[in-house]
Each structure stands twice: as C-alpha cells, then as structure tokens.
Amino acid sequence: MSSNPSHTLSFHDLKRHNNDRDCWIAVHSKIYDITNYLDSHPGGSSIILRYAGSDATAAYDEIHAPGIIEEALPPECYRGLLDQAEVVNLPPEQKEDMETIEKTTGQSTSTETYTKPELFKLISTQDFVDVARNTLTPKAWAFYSSAATDLVTHHWNSDVYRRIMLRPRVMRNVAKAETRRSILGCPSSAPFFISPAAMARLAHPDGELALARGCASEGLIQVISNNASYPLASVIQAGCTNQPFFFQLYVNAERAKTTQLLHKARELGVKAIFVTVDAHVPGKREADERIAAENVSSAISGAVASNDRKGGGMGRLMGQYIDKTLSWDDIPWIQQTSRLPVVVKGIQSAADAKRAVEYGVQGIVLSNHGGRSLDTAQPSMLTLLELHRICPEIFHRCEVYVDGGVTRGTDILKALSLGATAVGIGRPFLYSLCYGQEGVEHLSQILKDELETSMRLAGITDVGQAGPGLVNTRDVDYLVPGSEEHDWIRWRPKAKM
C-alpha cells in the first residue's frame, strides 16, 4: 500500500488491521496506520484500540480538533481514502454495530425534554452548571464534573468560601470599583484567570478557541491546558494581537517531548508556564470510571474486562504519559528550557510553598486540582490561611493564586482579601462553553459584576484595597495547621519491630 492520498480502500481492507500489532483507523474518510503511534497517544492505547480496524470519526471528533491527527502523525502513516460508497452500502448488521459504538461513547438519551434556556436568562455560575448537566453528553459531564472518590475535597473547596464571612465597611465613597489586576506583569480586566482544563471540545466544537476569543473580548487571561483539544498554536491564533496566554504543562516521561513543547510555547509568545504537580498519577474519579466501565462492558466480554482493575476513565487515560519522577530539582531545567516565568500549580502545604520560593518560581497556585486528585486533601483556601500562619513572607516573594470552588464574586473578594493575587476558575468556564464564545463572555461579565457589587458593598474601590480586615475567618481558623508538623503530637520516629 502507498500513502497516495487518492488511493481508495474498502471497509473490508480497513477491518483486517484491527489489533495492537497492526492497527488502522479511519478518521474523516482518511485511513491511517497508527500501529507505531499507539504507545505515544496521550490518551493511552486502549482507547484507540477500541476503534482498531474501523471508522473512529465520531469518537475522534468528540475530543480532537480537525487537524490534530495530521500534526501528530508522520505522513507515511497515511494509507488512503475510505471508499464512501461502501460505507453507505454496509450490510444492516454492520451499520447497527457502528451506531452501538456511537451510543457507548456516551450520547445522552434523557435530555429530550430539557429546553436549554436563552443565555441572557443565566444569572449565576450555578445556572451554567445546571445547563451543562442537562446538555452535555454523560461522558463529557462525567469527565468535567467528577472529582476524586467521595468528592470530599471537592465539596470542602467551596464550603470554606461559604464559611468565611465578610465584614463590610460602610459610608465610603464607592463611585468607582476598579477590578483590573496585573498577573505576572500581564494586564487582566479582573483578578481571575481561566484555569487550564482539558478537552474543551467535549462541550463545544470550538473548544479552547472559544475560550481564547472570549478572553480577548473580556480582557482575561487563559491558561491553556497541555491536554487541550486544539493545538496550542490554533488556540493562540484564535485570540487577538498581544493577548497574553499562559501555558499549563504536564512534564512528559519522555523529557524530549517536554523540551520541544516548551520551545514551541515560547515561540508562540506564551507569557508563563504553569507546571501542574498535583496530578502526576491520576486521581480516582469514580463517575468518570463508571462511564468507562459501562462502555467496556458493552464492547467486550466480562472475562477480558475483569483483568482491568485500575479503571479506564478519561482522566486515567489522559494521564498516562505524565512523569511520576518529577521533583523539585527539575524546576531549573523547566526555567532554563522555557526561559519564561514558572508557576507551580498544585501546592497544598506551607512546606511546599516555601520550597517553591526557594527554587525561584514567580508564582504558586494553591490547588488540589479541583478535588480531582487526592480526596480529603485539605481545601485550597485552608492552605492560603496556612501560609499566613506559617510563612506569611511568601506573599512578598511570589504571586499566590488559588483555585477550586470559586463560583461567586464574594469568593474572589475573599481570596484577594487573604492575599491572593488572583483566583483560577476552571469548570465554570468549561460549562459556559455550552454557549460557545458568548457563554464565556456572559459568565465573565456575571463574575465581574458580582465582584464589583461585592467590592462596593464591602466599602472598597480597588481590588488592591482588599485585606484581611474585610473577612472573618473564625469559622475555619481552627482547621488551619499551626506548624508544618502537628504541634501537639509528641511524635518520635518509630523503631523497627
């Protein structure tokens, strides 16, 4: 066979290459031999093997942007065009088979009675959550909304915001309410950014492009996910001239790939690298796993499936390439390779915050990955309070961001009052993509309006005036660790027995 683009292959030809030693797939009528690529697929090989020897277009489109397969594969993988006539003429049972595959990839069937509201009727972040729950495919909803095991940290993240009280000051001329903030030297119209979140295409065909365009019109900064549905270059191009972007990095077990990626990011004008350090192994997101288990169960026999006990949810699949050996000593390499400001995302203790500063990072994101990694990890706002108690000097040595659980303007104001430069907002913006770019803009405006109102009612006219006097954290203070180790435990290293 040749890589002649006009070469036409029959469905029968395709079907013979259906295993991990000889794997072809068709995407948009083009047939590729991906046998050698299987191990490099960021999402793992097993997800591809489900489509070995068949047309994978539907599954591909759900997650990937059109051009990305050609970017990832060398030209010699191309095998020819799938004979369309033949597709049409498939015998009935075979067509049914394809429909089944489509179904098992998660098309919801229970959304028929739901009428998606007009965008202008949405007035809060929660409204976007509700729309997403009702309109996304079960698979997309599970992937976006799921968190680790019992969702304890996920709920704690927002609970802490709710338990922190505001102490408004009255009768201060608040004609003005300035929300602009400089983040790593880049201007932002508000003290929040879009947290990196993978696979935005699951929510809208424009995926990360819509986020970029929304940020352009709203003056916000997007942290582009390493696992974006679109190539980094496409996302950046979607924005406007001089629009600042940050890039989120998972260090690849094959370091050369990371080197390449960092060089590219720099070339494309990215302003900073956010290294994610709290998801080097995939958290156990059971909603995501269950969807995967359902698919497996309808696709293969129980006997085979029973060997797989680690789950196959999208979260697990996508994390397979991440380097588990990453350590602090890799920071200088990232700094030197990228020649960009480096931010460590996923700090969960004062001890690590201090460590990060010692390594000269420009910022840290206090984050537990939205509760998606290690369940019962302490909520990120508690870590912010821990910094105040254990190492308040941190706030003078780098920028501190916090993410997880932010849904209200008051949440943003509280984080700022406790020293955060900005907060990251992830899932809500993914949900806003149910309305594409307009949804992103509408949500941004809601959050800015809420923040402005909160500032005025709290008695400040600029985000820079927020300080701890504006908040009453008594309801959570007792939860804040007083030292790196427990202070009341007289602990001694245990002798071997």
Under rule CB under 8 A, which residues in 153-182 are in contact with its own copies?
A: 156, 161-162, 164-175, 182
Residue 298: CB atoms within 10 A of its CB come to 11
Q: Which of 17, 204, 369, 442 is catalytic?
A: 369
Q: What are phi and psi of 485, to 5 degrees?
A: -105, 165
Instruction: Decide: is 26 part of the binding site for its own copies (CB under 8 A).
Output: no
**Active-site pick, 127, 278, 288, 411:** 278
Considering only residues 340 to 359 of the shown chain, the ones binding its own copies according to CB under 8 A are: 344, 346-349, 351-352, 355
What is the rounded CA–CA span in Å between residue 189 and residue 191? 7
Residues 361-400 binding its own copies (CB under 8 A) are: 368, 373-378, 382, 388-389, 392, 395-396, 399
204 counts as catalytic: no
How many residues line the site for its own copies (CB under 8 A)? 117
Lookup: tokens for 162: 């709710």
66 interacts with its own copies by CB under 8 A: no
Quote the CA–CA distance of 138 and 202 in Å, as a whole number. Answer: 10
Closest contact distance (angstroms) between CB of 182 and its own copies is 7
Q: Is 217 an interacting residue with respect to its own copies (CB under 8 A)?
A: no
> Considering beta carbons, is residue 237 or 376 the nearer one to its own copies?
376
Task: Report the nearest approach of its own copies to the CB of residue 28 (Å).
Answer: 33
Give the x/- contact pattern for its own copies in 102-141, rule: CB under 8 A.
Answer: ----------------xxxx-xx-----------------
Phi, psi (degrees; rounded to nearest 5) at 434: -55, -20
The answer to whether residues 194 and 223 touch, using CB atoms and an 8 Å cutoff, is yes
Q: Is 330 in the site for its own copies (CB under 8 A)?
A: yes
Q: Are strands 54-55 and 399-403 parallel, antiparallel or unpaired?
A: unpaired
Stretch that binds its own copies, among 17-25, 96-104, 132-140, 325-333 (CB under 8 A): 325-333
Amino acid at 397: R
Least distance in Å: CB of 168 to its own copies?
A: 5
What is the β-pairing status of strands 245-249 and 181-183?
A: unpaired
Q: Which stretch binds its own copies (CB under 8 A): 6-14, 29-37, 150-158, 215-223?
A: 150-158
The DSSP element (H or E) to which 305 belongs, if any, is: helix 302-305
To its own copies, the closest distance from the beta carbon of 230 in angstroms equals: 27
Q: Given candidates 217, 290, 320, 333, which one binds its own copies under the rule CB under 8 A?
A: 290
Binding mask 256-285 for its own copies (x = CB under 8 A): ---------------------xx-xxxxx-
Mapped onto helix, strand or coil, the DSSP state of residue 40 is helix
Catalytic residue flag (residue 369): yes
Tell me the C-alpha to C-alpha distance, in Å, between residue 440 and each of 204, 222, 331, 412, 433. 11, 11, 33, 18, 6
Report the C-alpha gap between 154 and 157 in whole angstroms. 5
Q: Which of residues 293-322 bind its own copies (CB under 8 A)?
A: 293-294, 296-297, 302, 305-311
Q: Which of 32, 144, 250, 321 is catalytic?
A: 250
Instruction: Give the shortest CB-470-to-its own copies separation in angstroms.
Output: 9
| DSSP 3-state of 444 | helix
> Is the separation of the CB atoms in 191 and 401 below 8 Å?
no
d(CA 411, CA 192): 11
DSSP-assigned beta bridge partners for residue 186? 183
Per the rule left: phi > 0, alpha: psi between -120 and 50, beta: everything else, 286 is: alpha
Strand partners, 266: none
Supply φ then ψ for residue 384, to 5 degrees: -60, -45
Residue 481 binds its own copies (CB under 8 A): yes
- For its own copies, give the closer residue by CB, 12 or 121: 121
Residue among 208 and 289 whose Cβ is closer to its own copies: 289
Cβ-based nearer residue to its own copies, 5 or 468: 468
Taking phi over 0 as left and psi of -120 to 50 as alpha, with beta for the rest, 346 belongs to: left
Determine, following the binding rule CB under 8 A, whether residue 336 of this chain makes contact with its own copies: no
Interface with its own copies includes 332 (CB under 8 A)?
no
Contacts with its own copies in 437-476 (CB under 8 A)?
A: 442, 445-446, 449-450, 453-454, 456-458, 467-469, 471-475
CB 349 within 8 A of CB 278: no
278 flagged as catalytic: yes
Which residues are tagged catalytic? Answer: 250, 278, 369
